[in-house]
Structure formats: structure tokens, C-alpha cells
């Protein structure tokens, strides 16, 4: 036995040749397989065509934002519309209140006016009744005095001298003058023949009837019913006329003192006026 046979060796044991060859073969086959696969890959591989759909987060967010904005706008419009409606209702209520107050004011004013008108009408009627009573009394007195004087006094008065005042007139002229003066204040009505409304010729005819003298009805005929006299030589009871003799459009009765009584028009009624107020054209004497 060798002296060194029991001394362990520090060198790495040599691998077996067969094991190394096997490892070399396996590695070579693997590399060959990779090479073959790499050479054949580009010619046989198919392209990937699958599309992956990503969630449409952006589009959904935009739609939600638009819907929110539309809802906010609609809410603002609704609030504005409600505010307009409230303002209109408030204005309508205010206008209605004002109209009601105005209606009440007008109604009160109308009632006051009607009351004042009614009062004035009552006073006018009372005054008219008093005047009618006074005229009736005066007419009764005139009729009694005319009947007692007889026809002789009327005949003698026809040639009586001129007088400047109706207070000195007697007989038929006095009756005519007194009747005419008693109608002052009566209304003027076209075609009126009394007892409280006259036209110009109706008053003259009625006045002469108190002296039992019948005159024509219209002014044209009355202006030629007697003798034409000068306006400077008038006597109470003479008939004054305006217009031409035979075509007169207005007549009145001279009562003396430069005065006449006539039913003038619907505005003035029956009045006593100075001849200077409306100078007549001519005069006719019937008595």
C-alpha cells in the first residue's frame, strides 16, 4: 500500500464524461428548438386583432354635466317665472284696490250730485209753484177788473194819449200789459200757447184775448193786424215786430217806459227787456 494512499485530494473530482455529454446534448437540443421556432415564427404567426373596449367615462361625465346644467337653467327659469307671476298678481291686486276706491269715490260723488240736483229741482219747483200761484191771483184780479169796467172803458182808452209808464195805463191796454208782465219767467216753447210755456206770437195772441181781441196766430200776420206806428210814438199795448211787416220773424208787446215783454227763445224764456236790448223793426197798433 502506498504511503500517500490515505491522503485526501483537494482537487475537484472530474465529472463523468457521459454526464457532461448528456448536458451538452440537452442544451444543444433546446437551443436548436428555439432557433427553429424563431426562424419559423414570423412566417406563421397571426396578428392580434382583438379590440379592448375601455369604459366611456369621459362621455358619460359630459352627459351628466349637460343634464345638470339644463336642470339648473330650468330651475332658474321656473323661479323667474314664479317671480313674474307673483309680481303680476301683486300689481293686479293693487290695481283692483285702486279701481275699487275710485269706484267708491265716483259713486259717492254721483250720490252727492244727485242729492244736490234733487234739492235744486225741489227748490225750483217750489219757486215755480209760488210764481204760478202769484200769477194766477194776478190773472184772477185782472179778469174781475176787466169784466167790471165794461166795453165803454175799452172803447174810450183806444184814443187815450201816449204814456211813458205802464202804471198809468187803463182799460184794454192795461189788461194786455198786465197779462204779458205776469208771464215773465215762463218757458219758451216753439208753438207754445200757455199757460206756462209760450212762443212769441202765442204770448201776444193770449194777451190780446184778455181784452176780447182775437189776433192771428203767427207773427207774420200779427205784424199787419193794425195800423203801422212809429217807434217814437208808441203806446202800451202796441205790438212790436222784428223783420218786415208781413214777414216778421218775431213779435212782442210794448208795455211803456221803453220796455217790452216777449217770449224770446229757449235760453231766456219770457222776459222783460229794454228796447235798446234788441231794437225792433216796427210796430203796429191794434187798440
Residue 200 maps to which CATH number? 3.90.1720.10
How much is the average pLDDT of 128-132?
Answer: 59
| pLDDT exceeds 70 at position 154 | no
Mean per-residue pLDDT over the chain, rounded: 77
Q: Give 255 or 26, the one with higher predicted confidence.
A: 255
Query: Cis before residue 205, ω within 30 degrees of 0?
Result: no
Choice among 62-71, 114-123, 225-234 with the minimum mean pLDDT: 114-123
| pLDDT exceeds 90 at position 231 | yes
| pLDDT exceeds 50 at position 148 | no
In a domain, 141, yes or no: yes
**Can you give the pLDDT at residue 120?**
76
Tally of domains within the chain? 1
Torsion, Cα 207 209 213 216, to 10 degrees, reads 80
**Can you give the pLDDT at residue 201?**
97
| pLDDT exceeds 50 at position 143 | no
In a domain, 234, yes or no: yes
| pLDDT exceeds 70 at position 152 | no
Q: For residue 273, give its domain range.
A: 80-287
| pLDDT exceeds 80 at position 160 | no
In a domain, 68, yes or no: no
In a domain, 48, yes or no: no
Q: Give 165 or 214, the one with higher predicted confidence.
A: 214
**Can you give the pLDDT at residue 111?**
86
Cell of 90: 301683486
Q: Measure CA 206 to chain center.
A: 48
Asked if residue 232 lies in contact with residue 240, where contact means CB atoms within 8 angstroms, the answer is no
The pTM (predicted TM-score) of the whole model is 0.46
Q: Contacts for 158-167 with beta carbons within 8 Å, 24 or more apart? A: 158/287, 160/235, 162/233, 162/234, 162/235, 163/235, 163/236, 163/256, 164/256, 164/257, 164/258, 165/256, 165/257, 166/236, 166/255, 166/256, 166/257, 166/259, 167/256
In a domain, 195, yes or no: yes
Amino acid at each position: 500500500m502506498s504511503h500517500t494512499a490515505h491522503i485526501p485530494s483537494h482537487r475537484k473530482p472530474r465529472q463523468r464524461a457521459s454526464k457532461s455529454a448528456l448536458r451538452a446534448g440537452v442544451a444543444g437540443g433546446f437551443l436548436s428548438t428555439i432557433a427553429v421556432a424563431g426562424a419559423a415564427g414570423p412566417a406563421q404567426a397571426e396578428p392580434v386583432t382583438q379590440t379592448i373596449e375601455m369604459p366611456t367615462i369621459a362621455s358619460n361625465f359630459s352627459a351628466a354635466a349637460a343634464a345638470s346644467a339644463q336642470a339648473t337653467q330650468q330651475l332658474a327659469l321656473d323661479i323667474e317665472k314664479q317671480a313674474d307671476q307673483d309680481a303680476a298678481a301683486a300689481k293686479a291686486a293693487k290695481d283692483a284696490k285702486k279701481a275699487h276706491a275710485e269706484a267708491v269715490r265716483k259713486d259717492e260723488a254721483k250720490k252727492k250730485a244727485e242729492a244736490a240736483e234733487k234739492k235744486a229741482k225741489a227748490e225750483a219747483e217750489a219757486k215755480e209753484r209760488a210764481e204760478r200761484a202769484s200769477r194766477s191771483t194776478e190773472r184772477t184780479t185782472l179778469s174781475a177788473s176787466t169784466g167790471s169796467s165794461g166795453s165803454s172803458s175799452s172803447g174810450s182808452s183806444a184814443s187815450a194819449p201816449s204814456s211813458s209808464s205802464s202804471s198809468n195805463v187803463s182799460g184794454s191796454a192795461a189788461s194786455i200789459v198786465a197779462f204779458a208782465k205776469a208771464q215773465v219767467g215762463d218757458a219758451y216753447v216753439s208753438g207754445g200757447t200757455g199757460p206756462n210755456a209760450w212762443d212769441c206770437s202765442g204770448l201776444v195772441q193770449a194777451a190780446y184775448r184778455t181784452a176780447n181781441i182775437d189776433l192771428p196766430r203767427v207773427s207774420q200776420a200779427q205784424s199787419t193786424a193794425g195800423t203801422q206806428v212809429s217807434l217814437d210814438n208808441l203806446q202800451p199795448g202796441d205790438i212790436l215786430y222784428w223783420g218786415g211787416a208781413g214777414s216778421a220773424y218775431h213779435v212782442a208787446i210794448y208795455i211803456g217806459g221803453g220796455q217790452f215783454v216777449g217770449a224770446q227763445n229757449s235760453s231766456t224764456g219770457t222776459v222783460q227787456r229794454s228796447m235798446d236790448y234788441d231794437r225792433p223793426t216796427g210796430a203796429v197798433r191794434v187798440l
